[in-house]
Amino acid sequence: MNGSTPYNNRKLLPRWRTLSQSADHGELQFSRKSTSQPVNFNTSILLSELVARWQRERNIENAAELISSGIVVGVNSEVENAANFLIESSNQVAPAIIRASKLVLNGSVMSSIEDDATFSNLGNIISIYRNISKLKIRVRTAPRDAISWMELARLYTLLGQNEPSFKCIQIAVELAPENRFVLRAAARFFENSGDLDRGLYLLRKSNSITRDPWLQATEISLSDVGGVSSKYLKYAIDQVTKDVWEPRHSAELCGAAATVLFADGRYSKARKLMKLSIRDPNENSFTQAEWASIKGWAPSIPEELFEIELAPEALVLRERQAFNWEHAISACIKWNEMEPTSLMPLVFGAFISLVALENGDKALTFLDRAAVRIPNDPMVINNQVVAYAYIGDIEKATKKLNQLNSMQLPKNRKAVQIATNGLVEYRRGEFSKGRDLYIDAIKIADELNDKSIKFLAIWHLLREESKLGTPELEEIVKNVDKSHGQINRLPEIEALKKKIDLDLSKSRKSCFSNEFTPLCKTNFLPYT
C-alpha cells in the first residue's frame, strides 16, 4: 500500500533554488518602496568624453574604449554605432571586444550560473558530482563567495548528504549573515533537517530582517512550523497595513501571515491578507493562495493570473482537483525542476502515479529520485515495493520488501508495511494471505486511531478485492465512503474509488464470484 499522503497543511516556506532561478522569480530585488524619484542616469553625460573622442576620430581604439564603458553604464545610439563599427572591422579586433559588441547590440547579459535544471539532468548524479567538483574549486580560490558555498550545500542536499551540506551552510551564513538569499536557503535547509531553532536563530539575529519582508515571511512560517510564536508577525502586519513595501515583495509575507492567522481562528484578517498576497504574487505566494482557496477559506484566484504566473505547485493542486492526472504529473516534474531540494514534488508525483494512475513505472521515476536523497527512508522503500508490485516485478518487490521488513519501524509505519506485504501477496496470487495481512494492518491502524492509514489500507484492500470481483464489495465501498476521514476526500482516493466502481460493474456483468471468506465477516470493515 502506498504509505505517504501529500500535505494537508501547507506552510509558506521559502523555496531553495539556484541563484539564477531565484533571480528569475524576482526574489533578489530591492524590496523597499523607493522614496526618491527613480534614478535615471543620463548615459550620454557619463559617456560624453568618450563619445566626443569617438565622434572626432572613428577608429577601433576609440570604439573599443566607448563600448567598454558603455557596456557598464548603459548603451546609447553612439555606443551602438561603435559596436557596429567594431563588428564590421572584426578581422582587426580582439575577440572579447567583438563579443562585447554583440552583447551591446543584443541587449542581454549572460546568466550568472549555468545550471541545467531539467528533470532528466536533476536525476543525473554524475552531473551533480561534476558541479560539486567545479564549485569546490571555486570556493577554494574564492573562499569568501558565500553564494557558491550555498550552491555547494544545495548540491550536497540533492544527493542526500546532509553533513557536508550543513558545513557549507555554516560557512555561508558566517560570510553573509545579512544576505536574503543565503538566510532563506539556510532556513529551508534547517526546516528540512528538523533544526528549526537554528534556522530561527539565524533569521532573528540578522539586522536585515527588520527591513526585509522576505525574511520576515520566512521567520513567520518557520515559527509556525515549529509551533512557536513569531516575533515579527505583529510588526509585519503593521508594515503591510502601512504599505511600506511593493506588493511583489510583501506577497509571501501576506500569505505566511494569513496562514498563521487562519490557524489561530482570525478568519477575516486572514482572508484580507491572503487577498493582499495576490495583488502581485510570486510563484510561492500564488500557490499558497491556491491551496487556501481549495481549502475553502480564501477567495479563488482569477483565471487570468493563472495564465500569467508559472506556478507548477499551484498547477498540481489545480489539476488534481480536476482529475487531470497526466497534467498533474507534468506539473510535478516542473515543480521538481523549480525546487529540486524539496521532496514534496517527488512525494506528490509518486502518490498520484500510484493511487490515481496505478502506474508503477511513473511512480518509480519519482521514487528513485527520492531514494537518492533519503536512501533508507522506509516510506520511499515501501512505495518502491508498491510500484514494483504494480508493474508485476514481484522479484524486485520482494527484495525491497525484505529490506523494509528488516527495519525497526514505529507502529503506524508497521501497519503500512504489513499492508504492503498484503499487496505483494495479492499480486503473487496468494489472495487469502494478502487479505489477512491487510486486515491485520487495518486492525493496527484502528488500535492506534490513525484514520489516515486505516482508510488508505481499506481502500487499497477494496481495490485488490474489486479486481477479484468480490460479491459483497459494493455495499462495503458505499459504507466506507460514508465514513468520516479526510483521506476519503483526496482526489486520488476519488480516482481509486472510480476504478473500484468500474471493476465492480464489470464483475456484475460477468457474475464473477470467488471462493474466499466474505469480507463482511471481518470486523474491521464498515459493512453493517
Quick one: 180 or 198, whose CB is closer to other proteins? Answer: 180
Please pick, from the candidates 6, 80, 81, 103, the single residue that binds other proteins as defined by CB under 8 A. Answer: 103
> Is the Cβ–Cβ distance between 250 and 33 less than 8 Å?
no
Among 155, 168, 171, 176, binds other proteins (CB under 8 A): 176
Between 64 and 424, whose beta carbon lies closer to other proteins? 64
Question: With binding defined as CB under 8 A, does residue 208 bind other proteins?
Answer: yes
Residue 140 in contact with other proteins, rule: CB under 8 A: no
Closer to other proteins by CB, 16 or 366: give it.
16
CB 263 within 8 A of CB 5: no
| Dihedral sign, Cα of residue 439, residue 440, residue 444, residue 450 | negative
Q: Which is nearer to other proteins, 39 or 511 (CB)?
A: 39
Three-state DSSP state, 32: strand
Q: Which is nearer to other proteins, 30 or 406 (CB)?
A: 30
Closest to other proteins by CB, 90 or 432: 90
Q: Decide whether 35 or 406 has the Cβ nearer to other proteins.
A: 35
Least distance to other proteins from the beta carbon of 304, Å? 25
DSSP conformational letter for 355? I
Q: Which stretch binds other proteins (CB under 8 A): 18-26, 331-339, 425-433, 515-523?
A: 18-26
97 binds other proteins (CB under 8 A): yes
Q: Which of 30, 410, 484, 521 binds other proteins (CB under 8 A)?
A: 30
Question: Counting contacts by CB under 8 A, is residue 100 touching other proteins?
Answer: yes
Phi, psi angle pair for 32, to nearest 5° = -70, 150
For residue 201, what is the DSSP state? H
- Please tell me the distance from the alpha carbon of residue 108 to that of residue 99, in angstroms, as a whole number: 12
Contact call for residue 144 and other proteins (CB under 8 A): yes
User: Counting Cβ atoms within 10 Å, is residue 446 exposed (0-12), middle (13-18) or buried (19+)?
Assistant: middle
Q: Does 106 bind other proteins (CB under 8 A)?
A: no
Site stretch for other proteins (CB under 8 A), options 121-129, 171-179, 193-201, 468-476: 171-179
The span of 20-28, 231-239, 246-254, 465-473 binding other proteins (CB under 8 A) equals 20-28
Other Cβ atoms closer than 10 A to 93: 18
* Backbone φ, ψ for residue 13 (5° rounding): -90, 150
Taking the complex as a whole, the smallest distance from the CB of residue 28 to other proteins amounts, in Å, to 6
**Interface pick for other proteins out of 112, 124, 241, 486 (rule CB under 8 A):** 112
CA 200, CA 441: separation in Å to the nearest integer?
Answer: 39
Going by C-alpha positions, the residue among 68, 65, 98 that lies closest to residue 84 is 98
Single out the residue of 443, 444, 452 nearest to residue 490, CA to CA. Answer: 452
Collect all residues with Cβ–Cβ distance below 8 Å to 315 and sequence separation of at least 6. Answer: 327, 328, 331, 334, 335
292 and 253 in contact (C-beta within 8 Å)?
A: no
- CB 243, min distance to other proteins, A: 18
Q: Is 91 in the site for other proteins (CB under 8 A)?
A: yes
Q: Which lies closer to other proteins via its Cβ, residue 26 or residue 526?
A: 26
Q: Residues 174, 178, 195, 264: which binds other proteins (CB under 8 A)?
A: 178
Q: Applying CB under 8 A, does 146 fall inside the site for other proteins?
A: yes
Q: Which pairs with CB-CB distance under 8 Å and at least 24 residues apart come from 125-130?
A: 125/159, 125/372, 128/155, 128/158, 128/159, 129/159
Q: Can residue 476 be called a binding residue for other proteins (CB under 8 A)?
A: no
Binding mask 33-72 for other proteins (x = CB under 8 A): -x---xxxx-xxxxxxxx-xx--xx--xx-xxx--xxxxx
Residue among 26, 194, 518, 526 that touches other proteins (CB under 8 A): 26
Nearer to other proteins, 48 or 241 (CB): 48
Question: Can you give the length of the chain in residues?
Answer: 528
**CA distances in angstroms from 104 to 14, 59, 86, 88, 488, listed in the order given:** 35, 18, 11, 14, 59
DSSP states along 144-194: T-HHHHHHHHHHHHHTT-HHHHHHHHHHHHHH-TT-HHHHHHHHHHHHHTT
**Stretch of residues binding other proteins (CB under 8 A), selected from 85-93, 194-202, 389-397, 437-445:** 85-93
138: contact with other proteins by CB under 8 A: yes
234 class by beta-carbon count within 10 Å (0-12 exposed, 13-18 middle, 19+ buried) = exposed
How many chain residues interact with other proteins (CB under 8 A)?
67
Q: Which residues of the shown chain bind other proteins in the complex (CB under 8 A)?
A: 19-20, 23, 26, 28-30, 32, 34, 38-41, 43-50, 52-53, 56-57, 60-61, 63-65, 68-75, 91-97, 100, 103, 109-110, 112-113, 138, 141-142, 144-148, 175-176, 178-182, 208
